[in-house]
Amino acid sequence: MTEPRVVVIGAGVAGISTAYVLQQQGFTDWVVLEKGSDVGGVWYWNHYPGLTCDVPSQIYQFAFAPKPDWERVWATGPQIQRYHRDVVDELGLADRIRCDTEVLAAEFDDADGTWTLTLSTGETMVADFVVCATGVLENPAIPDIDGLADFAGPVVHTARWDDSLVTDGRKIAVIGTGSTGVQVVSALQPGAAGITHFVRSPQWVLWAPMGLPQVGAVSALFRRAPGLLDRVHRGLLWGSGILADIVTTPSWRRRAVQAYARLSLRAQAPARLREDLTPDYEPLCKRQVVSGSYYRAIRARNASLVTERITGVEPGGVRTADGRLHEADVLVLATGFRAHDYMRPMEVTGREGIKLDDAWADGPRAYRMTAVPGFPNLFTVLGPNSPTGSISLQFSAELSAKYIAQWLTRFRDGELATVEVTEEATDAFNRQVAEAMVPTVWNTGCNSWYFTEGGTIDLWPFDRKTMVRMLSRPEDADFHVRVPAR
Ligand code: N01
């Protein structure tokens, strides 16, 4: 038996799931490296006002760590972050996680089949396997707007919020209308002297009562009956299968949700703003925004909506194409993420010196979310084509980690030294993906962060059963396996 040395990069949803699986399966030589000062991933980095998870808490949690007593049906960011800390502590994973440790580079050694990692602490680390659990929405996208650096007041990206920033009583400009922009505008509007929301492309906003508490009696029942909690979680996972079906297959269900999005706009948006707030693409095409408060916030007297194109930022505010200067003291960038970076800016060098940046010049390309040709013994959890927005992320992360653990077990059993997915299998998978993308709602004529540089849609277009089938057992024919030298 040769115990594999495993480095997991990232301690968010994907990293915690991987850590749990490694612990459960008795692996002993592994560590999780996390560049942030705490676990949680996006929930550590994002702490902007109003941050709420628009997926119900009873499904946005690990199946292996069900929480009976969420305070709200849709938990807030701080509640979810506390949950991640508790899970890590309660499962005894904390000692395995090294925070404030960024992996700057990873290089594969063809001769001995190991990875050498260069860390921000100045150390190097050698591993037999690297698992990149680095997340999708990690690197903030800073817009290239003329004069941004000249703004006189604070400029803050929502994913790097400054908790000491005072917004009450000030004039705030918010750029961006995704899930984040809508949440931050709703939260900042009540205290602001004025809030201007710059909307380049309006989004459909599904109305939901996001502040709804989880009734105490329900929490008490779940605490007393863990079996029931488990059944509810499974039921919700099954229900999320319906959601996956809605976005991937045209049907009456999709039309019903789209009708509800149109109704939300008609019923909630102020008549004077309705035209400006109406998208020119189908509901669900972009990642659906859900909010119970945005339309109320944007019709407030201190709020204004600007659809005119931004031409530049000046010390005193934001200038638009009609020549107007929209004065502001604080500029909030809710401009999203470089969603296809994955483990980058880490510099990854694979077999024969292949650089990940070159391999992914046209956008990320992987096999079943987990493996990349040219990069032996390197796996991804919540990697390319992860089901952001349809199937539970926690479910897919755990499933991927269990799949990867099967390769680690074979290493431990002396059956392999290195394993690398083939180009052919990766191409075949990506052809399947492209074909399955055709009828999806994401392909109905909108622009979103789902699209890669190469124009492909970086999501999971299949159902949950297919995911389970694809990630149940590795198919040896899809991999080059090198056996250990005797
Ligand atoms: O980012 P986005 P996000 N000038 O990319 C605009 C998850 N999430 O942070 O559409 C003007 O959706 C851009 O305009 P356009 C969720 O998966 C989850 O809001 O490109 N505008 C767009 O409006 C979500 O989808 C929760 O025309 C500019 C916005 O910025 C994902 O995170 C909560 C611009 C970016 O929207 C990302 O959401 C929050 C420019 N130069 C987020 N550049 C949950 O509740 C960009 N924009 C779980």
Q: What is the per-residue pLDDT across 426-463, written as a single tens digit (0 to 9) for each?
A: 999 999 999 999 999 999 999 999 999 889 999 999 99
Half-sphere exposure of 348 (CA within 13 A, CB side): 25
| Tokens at 123, concatenated | 């150390």
Cβ atoms 70, 211 nearer than 8 A: no
Which residue's alpha carbon is at the smallest distance from atom 24 of ligand 1?
Answer: 179
Question: What was the pLDDT predicted at 182?
Answer: 98
Which residue's alpha carbon is at the smallest distance from atom 7 of ligand 1?
Answer: 179
How far is the centre of ligand 1, averaged over its atoms, from the C-alpha of 178 (Å)?
4
409 three-class SS: helix
Question: What was the pLDDT predicted at 99?
Answer: 98
458 three-class SS: coil
Buried b (16+ CB within 10 A) or exposed e, 36-75: bebbbbbbbbbbbbbbbbbbbbbbbbbbebebbebebbbb
Residue 412 pLDDT more than 80? Answer: yes
With the C-alpha atoms ordered 389, 393, 395, 400, is the resulting torsion angle positive or negative?
Answer: positive
Question: What was the pLDDT predicted at 199?
Answer: 98
Question: What was the pLDDT predicted at 304?
Answer: 97
pLDDT > 70 fraction of the chain, expressed in percent and rounded: 100
Residues in contact with ligand 1 by the CB-under-6-Å rule are: 52-55, 137, 143, 145, 175-181, 183, 198, 200-201, 287, 310, 334-337, 388-389, 449
How far is the centre of ligand 1, averaged over its atoms, from the C-alpha of 28 (Å)?
40
Residue 239 pLDDT more than 90? Answer: no
CA distances to 143, 144, 387 from 307, rounded to whole Å, are 17, 18, 31
Q: What is the per-residue pLDDT across 6-29, written as a single tens digit (0 to 9) for each?
A: 999 999 999 999 999 999 999 999
Cβ atoms 102, 301 nearer than 8 A: no
Q: Which atom of ligand 1 is nearest to the CA of 180?
A: 19
pLDDT > 90 fraction of the chain, expressed in percent and rounded: 93
Measured from the Cβ of residue 276, the count of other Cβ atoms closer than 10 Å reads 15
Q: What is the per-residue pLDDT across 221-233, written as a single tens digit (0 to 9) for each?
A: 999 998 999 899 8
Question: What was the pLDDT predicted at 390?
Answer: 76
Beta strands of 230-272 (E only): which ranges?
none
- The whole-model pTM stands at 0.96
Q: What is the per-residue pLDDT across 125-145, written as a single tens digit (0 to 9) for each?
A: 999 999 999 999 999 999 999
Average pLDDT of 380-399? 91
Question: What was the pLDDT predicted at 72?
Answer: 95
Measured from the Cβ of residue 393, the count of other Cβ atoms closer than 10 Å reads 22
Question: What was the pLDDT predicted at 482?
Answer: 96
Question: What was the pLDDT predicted at 151?
Answer: 98
Average pLDDT of 55-83? 95
pLDDT band at residue 422 under the 50/70/90 scheme: very high
Average pLDDT of 381-399? 90
d(CA 65, CA 88): 10
Which residue's alpha carbon is at the smallest distance from atom 40 of ligand 1?
Answer: 143
Pocket test for ligand 1, best of 280, 287, 388, 446 (most atoms within 8 A of CB): 287
How far is the centre of ligand 1, averaged over its atoms, from the C-alpha of 405 (Å)?
34
Least confident window among 30-39, 85-94, 118-127, 477-486: 477-486
Cβ atoms 115, 109 nearer than 8 A: yes
| Tokens at 414, concatenated | 């002396």
309 three-class SS: coil
pLDDT band at residue 65 under the 50/70/90 scheme: very high
How far is the centre of ligand 1, averaged over its atoms, from the C-alpha of 181 (Å)?
7
Which residue's alpha carbon is at the smallest distance from atom 36 of ligand 1?
Answer: 178
pLDDT band at residue 388 under the 50/70/90 scheme: confident
Cβ atoms 334, 178 nearer than 8 A: yes
Q: Which atom of ligand 1 is nearest to the CA of 179?
A: 19
Q: What is the per-residue pLDDT across 160-173, written as a single tens digit (0 to 9) for each?
A: 999 999 999 999 99
Beta strands of 23-145 (E only): which ranges?
30-33, 97-98, 103-109, 114-119, 124-127, 129-132
Which residue's alpha carbon is at the smallest distance from atom 48 of ligand 1?
Answer: 53
Residue 387 pLDDT more than 90? Answer: no
Average pLDDT of 291-302? 97
pLDDT band at residue 243 under the 50/70/90 scheme: confident
Residue 339 pLDDT more than 90? Answer: yes
How far is the centre of ligand 1, averaged over its atoms, from the C-alpha of 450 (Å)?
11
Residue 217 pLDDT more than 90? Answer: no
To the nearest whole number, what is the mean pLDDT of the chain?
96
How far is the centre of ligand 1, averaged over its atoms, from the C-alpha of 395 (Å)?
24
How far is the centre of ligand 1, averaged over its atoms, from the C-alpha of 180 (Å)?
6
